[in-house]
């Protein structure tokens, strides 16, 4: 069923996918802002602002927001990426309008109280410290640093201690007004809601949204860089992360890349899992995952092993990338990868939250609804020769970035 669409009087667009037999409703607010749009002094402010929206509005204190979130049940949360910030709630249908009212309040009436800001600064600094203690986070962050270099994609989404300590009420408020306006966000809803009443409620909830039209932000296209970075750390294992070139989100060969990545490291039958774990016992887990942006992308391959076997592990990972150029997928391998992708898509749409998220992604990438049948057709159309050609075009066998973290000496 096609999405229903309505534009509020203030210009905010709202989309709804009916699920009339469901007892749930999921609401998401999608904001086209992320770490790539930050100035160097603002590093991490998008993520920090996401936190601060839950810390008090003109009508609710931080405690009242937390109490209402729990009272509604379900789930309410947010996330920040390089290009997107999203706030969402999944609740029982009868609580949908109250959830929408709360989201609207957070995104139009937040006050960024200095006391709450100082308290949340410490929280985010602890989050940053926790991330630094996580070897998987750190080795991936290092990979992005060398792959994207001086581009904003190479900077951490959380920011740094220096930038976080520099955030003020004025800085956060200014960023909020510049990016949280009707031309830069929209609302997606999936589930069983009373549409006319929901629209009326959202008209009221978003009435105080910033009227700032927003200034156009000059962004540079990311250019991949291929080098090796090693960081010595006293862990039990050495953590390896390999990066090869990916594709922009709307690239015609994006589905081919997804099938390829799934075959390479997306399950127990994948080439990497079979070669790294099953045949050689080099690692407990290994995966390959594409990450695409509006104008670029990267495919990440990660695994961990004992220090004495790190070069062997790296050699195997690189050999498997090069083997993709020489050994085409069999029909059985291709079918397995396609089935995994289609299962992930279809099973994710069993929930209101999954459908709401798909709506958001469709609109952000394509500006319109993409039917499940069309996506399945894209997947079914991928052929082995297209995969082999793409690997050669992206130079996976030669253009490789490597991040290494762990005990590099003394063991």
* Strand-strand pairing, 228-232 and 85-92: unpaired
Contacts of 306 (CB under 8 A, 6+ apart): 236, 237, 238
Task: Give the active site residue among 17, 42, 50, 320.
Answer: 50
**Radius of gyration, CA atoms only, the chain:** 23
Give backbone dihedrals phi and psi of 18, rounded to 5 degrees, phi first: -65, 140
Judge whether 295 and 248 are in contact, CB under 8 Å.
Answer: yes
Structure tokens at 9: 């009087």
Angle at 216 between CA 213 and CA 218, to 5 degrees: 165
Structure tokens at 68: 């209402």
Angle at 54 between CA 51 and CA 57, to 5 degrees: 130
Measure Cα distances from 356 to 186, 196, 201 in Å: 12, 18, 19
Specify whether 393 is catalytic.
no
Distance of CA 194 to the CA centre of its chain: 30
CA distance 273 to 286: 6
Catalytic residue set: 50
């Amino acid at each position: 069923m096609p999405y229903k669409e309505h534009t509020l009087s203030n210009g905010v667009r709202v989309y709804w996918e009916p699920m009339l037999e469901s007892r749930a409703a999921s609401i998401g607010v999608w904001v086209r802002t992320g770490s790539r749009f930050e100035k160097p002094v603002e590093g991490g402010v998008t993520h920090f602002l996401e936190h601060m929206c839950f810390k008090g509005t003109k009508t609710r204190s931080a405690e009242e927001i937390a109490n209402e979130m729990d009272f509604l049940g379900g789930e309410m949360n947010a996330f920040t990426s390089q290009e997107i910030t999203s706030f969402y709630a999944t609740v029982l249908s009868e609580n949908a309008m109250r959830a929408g009212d709360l989201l609207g309040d957070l995104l139009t009436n937040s006050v960024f109280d200095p006391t709450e800001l100082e308290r949340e600064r410490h929280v985010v600094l602890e989050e940053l410290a926790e991330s630094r203690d996580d070897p998987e986070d750190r080795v991936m962050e290092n990979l992005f640093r060398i792959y994207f270099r001086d581009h904003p994609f190479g900077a951490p989404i959380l920011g740094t201690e220096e930038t976080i300590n520099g955030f003020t009420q004025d800085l956060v408020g200014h960023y909020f007004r510049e990016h949280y306006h009707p031309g830069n966000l929209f609302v997606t809803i999936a589930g069983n809601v009373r549409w006319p009443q929901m629209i009326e409620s959202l008209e009221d909830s978003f009435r105080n949204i910033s009227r700032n039209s927003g200034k156009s932000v000059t962004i540079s296209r990311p250019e991949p860089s291929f080098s090796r970075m090693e960081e010595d750390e006293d862990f039990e294992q050495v953590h390896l992360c390999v990066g090869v070139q990916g594709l922009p989100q709307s690239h015609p060969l994006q589905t081919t890349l997804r099938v390829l990545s799934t075959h390479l490291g997306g399950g127990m039958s994948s080439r990497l899992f079979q070669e790294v774990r099953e045949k050689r016992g080099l690692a407990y887990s290994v995966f390959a995952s594409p990450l695409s942006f509006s104008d670029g992308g990267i495919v990440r391959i990660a695994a961990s092993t004992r220090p004495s076997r790190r070069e062997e592990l790296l050699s195997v990972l690189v050999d498997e990338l090069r083997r993709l150029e020489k050994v085409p997928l069999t029909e059985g391998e291709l079918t397995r990868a396609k089935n995994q992708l289609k299962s992930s898509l279809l099973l994710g749409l069993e929930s209101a939250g999954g459908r709401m998220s798909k709506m958001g992604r469709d609109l952000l990438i394509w500006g319109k609804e993409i039917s499940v049948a069309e996506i399945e057709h894209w997947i079914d159309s991928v052929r082995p020769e297209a995969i082999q050609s793409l690997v050669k075009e992206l130079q996976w066998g030669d253009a490789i970035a490597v991040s290494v973290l762990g005990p590099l000496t003394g063991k």
